[in-house]
Amino acid sequence: MRHTSLFSLYFTLLIALLCQLFPWVGQGIIFRPDFMLVVILYWLLRAPNLCNVGTAWFAGLLVDLATGSLLGQHALSFSVAAFIALSYQRRLVLFNTWQLAGYVTALLVIERVVILLLKLFEGNDNPGWHYFWPVITGLLLWQFMILMFGGLTRPKTN
C-alpha cells in the first residue's frame, strides 16, 4: 500500500485541470475523459479522510469555470457522484478488480446523465450515444490512476 498525502491529491487535481485545459480538437473532444471527475473519485474512494463531497464540488466548479459552461452544472453532478461513491466506500475493499471497474463505470454514467439532464433543461439538443464515450476513456484513466497511485486499501491476506 502506497502512501497518500494531501499534496499528491492536489497535485493530481492540478494535472487533471491541465489536461482538461489542453486544446482538444475535432474527434478528441468526443473521447476526452472527465479528468477531474476520475481523479476526484479515485481520491474519494482511496483516501476519504483527505477529501469529501465538498472537494468534489469545488473540483466541479473549477471545471465549470474552465469550460465556460453554466456555473454550477459540473459542481452539482460531481457532488452527486461523490455522494454515491462515498456511500458504498467501506464495502469497496471487498470488491475485485472487475466489480470495482463496474462500480466506477456506474458512477461515471451517473455523472454524465446528471450533466445531460442539466444541459437538456438549458435547451440543448440530445447529443446522441457518442456523448457516453468519456465513460469508457474515463475507465481507462481510472486503471491508470490505480497503476500510478496503488489500488484501494485492502486488508492483508497471508
Partner 1 sequence: MLKGVHQKLEAQQTPAFFVRGPSPFSRMVFFCALSISIMAIDARFNYLSQVRQAFIAALHPLEVVANAPSEWYRDVKKYFSAHNALVQENYALKQQAFEHQIMLQRLSTIQAENNHLRSLLNGNIPIQPKAVLGEISHMGRDPFTHTVVVNRGSQHNIKAGQAVVDSKGVIGQVTRVYPFTSEVTLITDKELSIPIQIERNQLRAIAFGEGNNTLDIPYLPTNVDIKVGDKMVTSGIDGVYPSGLAVATVTKIQQNPESPFAKIVSTPIADVSNHLQLLLLELPEAKESELIPPAAAEVVNHKKEDAPKKNAAPRKNGTASKNISSKNKAKTNASH
Binding site for partner 1 (CB under 8 A): 17-26, 29-30, 48-49, 52-54, 57, 60-61, 65-73, 75-76, 79-80, 82-83, 86-87, 118-119, 122-125, 127, 131
Following DSSP, what letter does each residue of 58-125 receive, concatenated?
HHHHHHHHHHT--TTHHHHHHHHHHHHHHHTGGGGGG--HHHHHHHHHHHHHHHHHHHHHHHHHHTPP
Q: Which is nearer to partner 1, 48 or 151 (CB)?
A: 48
Q: How far is the CB of 2 from partner 1 (least distance, A)?
A: 21
CA distance 115 to 126: 12
Amino acid at 156: K
Give residue 26's region: left, alpha or beta (phi > 0; psi -120 to 50): left
Q: How far is the CB of 43 from partner 1 (least distance, A)?
A: 14
Q: How far is the CB of 95 from partner 1 (least distance, A)?
A: 19
Q: How far is the CB of 105 from partner 1 (least distance, A)?
A: 20
CA distance 133 to 50: 30
Q: How far is the CB of 78 from partner 1 (least distance, A)?
A: 9
Q: Which is nearer to partner 1, 38 or 80 (CB)?
A: 80
| Of 42, 38, 158, the residue nearest 109 (C-alpha) | 38
Q: Which is nearer to partner 1, 72 or 97 (CB)?
A: 72
Q: Which is nearer to partner 1, 66 or 148 (CB)?
A: 66
